[in-house]
Amino acid sequence: MIQQTSLKAYAELHEWIVNKTYTAILSTLSNNPNGLTDREIASILGYSDPNKVRPRRKELEDKELIYSDFKRVCQVSGKTAIIWKIKKNYESEKYGI
């Protein structure tokens, strides 16, 4: 049987990891105003697998903090992919732009 303290510790760790990933994705997109693909974001963050980025990126899209803009050739995969950009109103609120 798992102790409540273990479950709480796991939940806190998971929340910390999720928030850290949100911040990393938003910061990466903020530093790349022309937008990035999932694979480019993953590469910049040091992940070999873009599936480490996609769930958090999708949640940021659902929260309307980022959006898909257009498609172009990904610099990592060489394939056509969706470009993600940070919403200007988020940048203004967060970074005073």
Query: Is 4-95 a domain of CATH 3.20.20.100?
Result: no
What percentage of residues in the chain have a pLDDT greater than 90? 64
Backbone angles phi, psi at 88, to 5 degrees: -60, -40
Cα(7)–Cα(53) distance, rounded to whole angstroms? 24
pLDDT at residue 60 above 60? yes
Domain limits, the chain = 4-95
Predicted TM-score (pTM) of this structure: 0.76
pLDDT category at 85 given cuts 50, 70, 90 is: very high
Q: How confident is the model at residue 29 (pLDDT cuts 50, 70, 90)?
A: very high
72-87 mean pLDDT: 96
**Is 68 in a helix, a strand, or coil?**
strand
